[in-house]
Amino acid sequence: MSQPLADSALDQLFRTARTYNGYLDKPVSTEQLHAIWNLMKMAPTSANQLPARLVWCVSQEAREKLAACSAPTNAPKIMSAPVAVIIAMDTQFQEQLPWLFPHADARSWFTGNDALRERSAFINTTLQAAYFIMAARAIGLDTGPMTGFSNEAVDAAFLPETPDYKSVMISTLGYGDPASIFDRSPRPDFDVFNRIA
């Protein structure tokens, strides 16, 4: 049975963590990208679907290409960050289930049910996007998740050889520049959006 994490950890993960719009000039290593994946992959998806496919844009060229697919207000954020990641969903994730979920014939659950397959790809990839944010924070990095980009342009620019992959979210990654954040938006008390039954 676990105990609550220390307040300093809760601060780092949730309370003082922020979405950054600019980053310090400090690199992120390949080992840190692997560390994020090795944490985020452990968190749960339905029947271990793990439908997220990630393209980590590290080179100047890749970040320029991504910035060109993004909303004008997001492009400079991408260029300020040492890394920007594209989180895409594999809409044919079920083809991997025979080895990812050996307990049952989970692939067959999606045969002839495109609506379930597409909803499942989207919901589980989005869960993994949140796990990415939390894993990055857990290893001491900051993120700037965004949906303000052209999915079609990103898919054409980065995923032309895998037409089943569709971009869902992008995020900057690095050591956030405290000067780049906005004032914290309001966070409602429990009773506003919660009910106990």
Residues between 67 and 96 that touch a second copy (CB under 8 A): none
Among 21, 22, 23, 58, binds a second copy (CB under 8 A): 58
Under rule CB under 8 A, residue 43 binds a second copy: yes
Taking the complex as a whole, how short is the minimal distance between the CB of residue 91 and a second copy, in angstroms? 14
The yes or no reply on residue 173 touching a second copy (CB under 8 A) is: no
Among 28, 55, 121, 170, binds a second copy (CB under 8 A): 55
Using the rule CB under 8 A, is 44 a contact of a second copy? yes
Q: Smallest distance, Å, CB 78 to a second copy?
A: 13
Number of chain positions touching a second copy (CB under 8 A): 81
Query: Read out DSSP for 90-150?
Result: ETTGGGGHHHH-TTS-GGGGGTT-HHHHHHHHHHHHHHHHHHHHHHHHHTT-EEEEE--B-
Choose which of 22, 53, 81, 91 interacts with a second copy (CB under 8 A). 53
Smallest distance from a second copy to CB 83, Å: 9
- Burial label for 189, CB within 10 Å (0-12, 13-18, 19+), is exposed
Rounded distance between C-alpha atoms, residue 127 and residue 13, angstroms: 16
CB nearer a second copy, residue 112 or residue 182: 182
SS3 9: helix
- Rounded Cα distance between 6 and 11, Å, is 9
Among 21, 120, 167, 172, binds a second copy (CB under 8 A): 120
Burial of 175 (0-12, 13-18, 19+ CB in 10 A): middle
Binding positions for a second copy, 12-41, rule CB under 8 A? 12-15, 17, 19, 24, 30, 33-35, 37-41
Task: Answer yes or no whether residue 196 interacts with a second copy by CB under 8 A.
Answer: yes
**Phi, psi angle pair for 56, to nearest 5°:** -95, 110
